Structure 1
Amino acid sequence: MKEIHDIINAYQSIALTRRPVALATLVKVEGSAYRRPGARMLITDQESWVGALSGGCLEADICDRAQQVIQTNKPALAIYDTTHEDDIVWGLGLGCQGIAYVLIEPISQATHCNPISLLASCVKQRKAGGIAILFRSHKSPSAKALARESLGSLLLHYPDKALCYSESWPQLETETIRGEILSDLQAALLNNQSAHKTYATQKGEIEVLLQVVRPAISLSIFGAGHDAVPLAVIAKQLGWSVTVIDTQARPSSRKRFAIADEVCLATAATLPPSSHAIDSRSAAVIMTHNYHADLALLKSQLFEPWSYLGLLGPKSRRNRLIIELQSQGLAIKPDQIEKLNSPVGLDIGAETPEEIALSILSEIQAVLTNKPGRSLKHKITAIHTPSTPVSGYTLAT
C-alpha cells in the first residue's frame, strides 16, 4: 500500500508541472515472478520512476519502453519471458522461470478514465474499488486488430459504485461482453479477490485483469509507551493508516507520534467514537502497560469487529483479565477469546521494542491475509496462487 501512496503523491506533484507520464501495470504472470498482477510503477518523460514491478531487473527496460509510449501517446504491452535458460546469459539475466506481461499506458490530467484517480479514491475513502484492464487478444487476426484498438481499455469501479469506461471500451462490440466484464468485476469486489479472465468475442478471445484495489490496513494502537513508537513507525513504512490512542491523555504524545495519521488523547473509559469504520482491514493492539486501562479497553474492544485484536502481555495476565471481565457479568464467548491474539505477535525471538513491533506487525499481516506465518522454505506449493486462467477463470491474490 505504501507504493500506491507513493505513486499517487508523485503523480499529483508531476501533474502540477504538466509533464507527461506513463503508468506500467503488471497485468499477468505465468510461472514465477517477484510481484503479482496489479503492481504498478509511474514513469516520467525524464526517465525517473516510482514503484516497481520486479526485484529491480525489469524497471530500466520498462522505463525505456515507457518513453516511446509517452512520445506516441499510445499504450503498449511488453512481455518478459524468462522461462528459457538462455535468458540468464543473453537476456535480462533474470533466471526467474516466469513470464511477465506489463501494460504501459500514457496518463495525463486530460485522461478520461484515469486509474490513479481510482487509487486515490480508494485511499481517501478507505473502501475497495475495482479496475478491469483489457490487455491482450489472440487466436485470430481480427482479435489482434481488436487488441490494437482496445489495448489498455479500462473499466473503473469506484468505491461509491460510480463507473468510468475508457474511450476505447466501446470497441468491445456488444453490451453482453461489457456486461459480463462488469458482473465479474463486481463479483471480484464482493469476494475481495482479484481475478484474470478470458472472454470469447465474435473476433476472438480477449484477456482482462479484474483487480480489486484494497484500502490500506488500519492499525489502532491503544497505548503510547516507548514500545508503541517503533510499532507506529514501521506500520507507516508499510503504508498502513495508524491511529495512536494515549489513555494517559498526554499532549506530548502528539509530537512523539507525529508520524501517525491520528493521535487521540482519552482515558480508557472515555474513548470517543472511532473516526473511521472498523472493517475487514482494521487491526488493533492493546499495549498500555496498565492493568486497569487494559481491562477497560478489553471490555469495549473485545466486542468490536476487529479483524485482528492483540493484547500485549503473557497468557497469565490475559487469563486474569478475562476472568475479571467474566466476574463482572460480561458474557464472553469462546470464539471471542480465541480471536484475541495474546500473547501478541509471532514467535521470532523478539526482545527489543523494534523486534517486538516486527513480530506484532508480521502477525497482523499473516492474520489479515489468512496465512500461517511460517517459513516459506517449508511451503510445498507455490508461494502465490497461480494467476494463469483455468477453465476461463482463476483467482489471483
Structure 2
Amino acid sequence: MRHVIDQAAAWQRSGTRFAMATVVRTWGSSPHGPGASMLVSEAGRVVGSVSGGCVEAAVCALAEDVLAGAAPVLGRWGVGDEDAFAVGLTCGGTIDVLVREMGAEVPLGRLAAGIASGAPVALVTPVSGAGCLVVGGGTTTGSLGDPRADRAAALAAEGMLGRGASGLMTSGDVTGRDGATDDTACAPARELLVQSFASRPQLLIFGAAEFARPLADIGAALGHRVTVCDARPAFAAAERFPRADDVVTARPDRWFRAHEDLVDASTAVCVLTHDPRFDVPVLALALRSRAGYVGAMGSRRTHEDRLGRLRAAGTTEAELARLRSPIGLDLGGRGPEETAVSIVAEVVAVRRGGTALPLTLRAGPVHRG
C-alpha cells in the first residue's frame, strides 16, 4: 500500500485527477482485506489492486464514471451475483469497494509523510459524504466538514490505529467511552472507512554474506524495514544492500542489545553468519526477546552444535523451541536467491499463521479472514 499512497500524493501534487477504489468489506475468500486500494487516473493509468485481478476492470469502469462527475459509489461483487463470472470473481468471495475521487482537500501529503517516517497513521474516509481525515501522532489533518464529526471520527480511528486494524467503523461507537466529550457524543454517527498504516515490520539480518543480499531485497519488497548488521566492515558495505534501510558495522549482539526496545512481535530476526562467535550471543538475546520470528542458517550438524552452545549460554528449552533452524521452508531451492525466497516464505507463514502446506492439500477458503 505504501507505493499506492506515494503515487496518490504525487498525482495530487501534479494536479492529476484520479479516483481511489478501496476495499471496505470482504466475505469468504478474498485476496485482499479491508483497506487495500487501487488508483485510476484520468488518463487511465492504474496503480495498486483491490482483488488480485478479479474485478479490476469493473472497478476501473466505476472510477471512470466518478471522474466524469458521478457521485462516489459503493460496488459489490461476489460469486452469488449474476455477473460474477463476467467480472471474474470466481474464487468464492464477495467484496465491497468504495470508489471516490481524491481531490485537493484530502491531506495525502501528510499521509505519505507519516507512512515514510514509520509513524502509525490512518486515513479516515466517510462511506457517504465528503471530506477525509488523516489521524496519527495525536494530530488530525483534514476535515469531514464538522468539528464535532472530526473529533468523533478521530477518536474512533485512533482505537483502530492502535490495533493496526483497517475496516469500517461507526464514529458514534465512541459515545460514552472514556475520553468522549459532550460534543463528540452529540456528533451524528457516520460510517467511516479507516485505513491504518502501522509501523513497518522489521527484518533484522545478522551476517552480510551473499545470501543476505536477496533476502534484504525481498524483505524490502514486502514492506519490511530492513537492517543488515555485520561486525566485518568489508561485508557491511551499504552499496551491497541498496534496498536496506540501515547497513551497520557492529557486533550483532551489541547492536541487538542497544535496539532491543524496538523489537516486537512483528520483528523477524535472521542470523546468517555461520560463526558461533557471533551467532550464539545474538541468538540468545533474540530468543529471549519479543521477536515473532528467529531463524538461523546452517546445516543440521551446525544446528546441533549451536543448540549445545546456546544451552551452555543459559538459553532455556522453551526459548530454544522458538528457533527456526535450519532456516526457511523446504522448497528444494539452491543458491542465494532461492534460499531467500524460502526464508521469507517461512517468515510470512509464521506471521500470518499459515500452514506452509501446498494449497492443494488444504480444504476451505484459499484466503483466510
**TM-score normalised to the size of structure 1?**
0.76
Residue 54 of structure 1 and its aligned partner are, at CA, apart by: 2.1
Q: Are 2:343 and 1:365 aligned?
A: no
Quote the Cα distance in structure 1 between the aligned partners of 2:35 and 2:21.
10
1:31-66 CA distance string (max 9 Å, x none): 443322211012221110210112324323323332
What secondary structure, in the 3-state scheme, does the structure 1 residue paired with 2:87 have?
coil
1:104 correspondence with 2:99: yes
1:326 Cα shift? 4.0
2:317 is the alignment partner of 1:317: no
Following superposition, the deviation at residue 163 of structure 1 comes to 3.5
Aligned equivalent of 1:60:
57
1:334 is aligned to 317
**RMSD between aligned alpha carbons?**
3.4
The residue type equivalent to 1:6 in the other structure is H
Question: Structure 2: where are the runs of 5+ without partners?
Answer: 174-187
Instruction: Choose from 43, 50, 71 the match for 2:47.
Output: 50
CA distance in 2, matches of 1:28, 1:85: 20
Give, in angstroms, the shift of residue 343 of structure 1. Answer: 1.7
Q: Relative to 1, partners in 2 of residues 1:82 and 1:198: Cα closer, same or farther, differing over 3 Å?
A: farther
Q: What SS is found at the alignment partner of 1:72?
A: coil
Match of 1:114 in 2: 107
Q: Could you say which residue in structure 2 is the equivalent of 1:20?
A: 17
Change (3 A) 1:187 1:338: farther
Which 5+ residue runs of structure 1 have no aligned equivalent? 136-146, 387-397
Q: 1:234 to 1:71 in 2, by over 3 A?
A: same
Aligned partner (choices 157, 170, 176) of residue 135 of structure 2: 157
Checking the alignment, whether the CA contact within 8 Å between 1:197 and 1:209 is kept in structure 2 is yes
What are the within-5 Å matches in structure 2 for residues 145-224 of structure 1?
Answer: 147=128, 150=129, 154=132, 156-158=134-136, 160-164=137-141, 166-168=143-145, 179=152, 185-196=157-168, 207-224=191-208
Q: 1:272-302 CA deviation, whole Å, 9 max, x = no partner?
A: 8349922232211000122322123224433
| Aligned-pair CA distance for 1:21 | 2.0
Q: Which amino acid aligns with 1:101?
A: D
3-state DSSP of counterpart to 1:302: helix
1:351 alignment partner in structure 2: 334
Deviations 1:345-390 (A, max 9, x none): 122323332222111101111112233322333333433445xxxx
Answer whether contact 1:123 1:216 (CA < 8 A) is retained.
no
In the alignment, which residue of structure 1 is the partner of 2:90?
95
1 CA distance for matches of 2:23 and 2:208?
A: 40
Q: Deviations over 1:126-183 (max 9, x none)?
A: x444445442xxxxxxxxxxx4xx2x6655431x13345632467xxx87x985x666
Query: Which residue is 2:185 aligned to?
Result: none
Alignment pair present for 1:294 and 2:251 = no
**2:217 maps to which residue?**
233
1:28 touches 1:209 (CA, 8 Å); kept in 2?
A: no
Which deviates more, 352-361 or 263-272?
263-272
SS of 1:77 mapped into structure 2: strand
8 Å CA contact 1:73, 1:106 repeated in 2:
no
Letter paired with 1:354:
E
One-letter code aligned to 1:253? A
- In the TM superposition, what is the alpha-carbon distance from 1:119 to its structure 2 partner? 5.3
What is the CA-CA distance between 1:200 and the residue it aligns to? Answer: 8.7
For the pair 1:247 / 2:231, whether they are aligned, the reply is yes
Letter in 2 for 1:28: R
Q: Distance in 1 between matches of 2:46 and 2:168?
A: 26
Shift of 1:344: 1.2
User: Which digits, 9 at most, give the CA deviation of each residue in 1:92-144, with x for residues without a partner?
Assistant: 34434543222122224x31x4367435413422x444445442xxxxxxxxx
Residues 1:362 and 1:71: Cα distance change in structure 2 (over 3 Å): same
> Post-superposition shift, 1:73?
8.2
Separation (CA, whole Å) in 2 of partners of 1:70 and 1:84: 26
Distance (Å, rounded) in 2 between the aligned partners of 1:116 and 1:59? 26
Residue deviations 1:295-343 (CA, integer Å, cap 9, x gap): 232244333332211111234433433433443xx43233221222212
Asked if structure 2 preserves the Cα contact closer than 8 Å seen for 1:23 and 1:42, the reply is yes
Seen in structure 2, the aligned counterparts of structure 1 residues 215 and 373 have a Cα distance that, compared at 3 Å, is: farther
Cα deviation, residue 231, structure 1: 1.1
Partner of 2:73: 76
CA distance in 1, matches of 2:261, 2:5: 21
One-letter amino acid of the counterpart of residue 166, structure 1? S
Partners of 2:345 and 2:205 lie apart in 1 by 15
Q: How many residues align?
A: 355
CA distance in structure 1 between the aligned counterparts of 2:83 and 2:20, rounded to whole angstroms: 30
The whole-number CA distance in structure 1 between the counterparts of 2:232 and 2:212 is: 14
* Amino acid across the alignment from 2:14: T
Contact 1:249 1:267 in 2 (8 A): no
Letter matched to residue 258 of structure 1: P
Query: 1:357 is matched by which residue type in structure 2?
Result: A
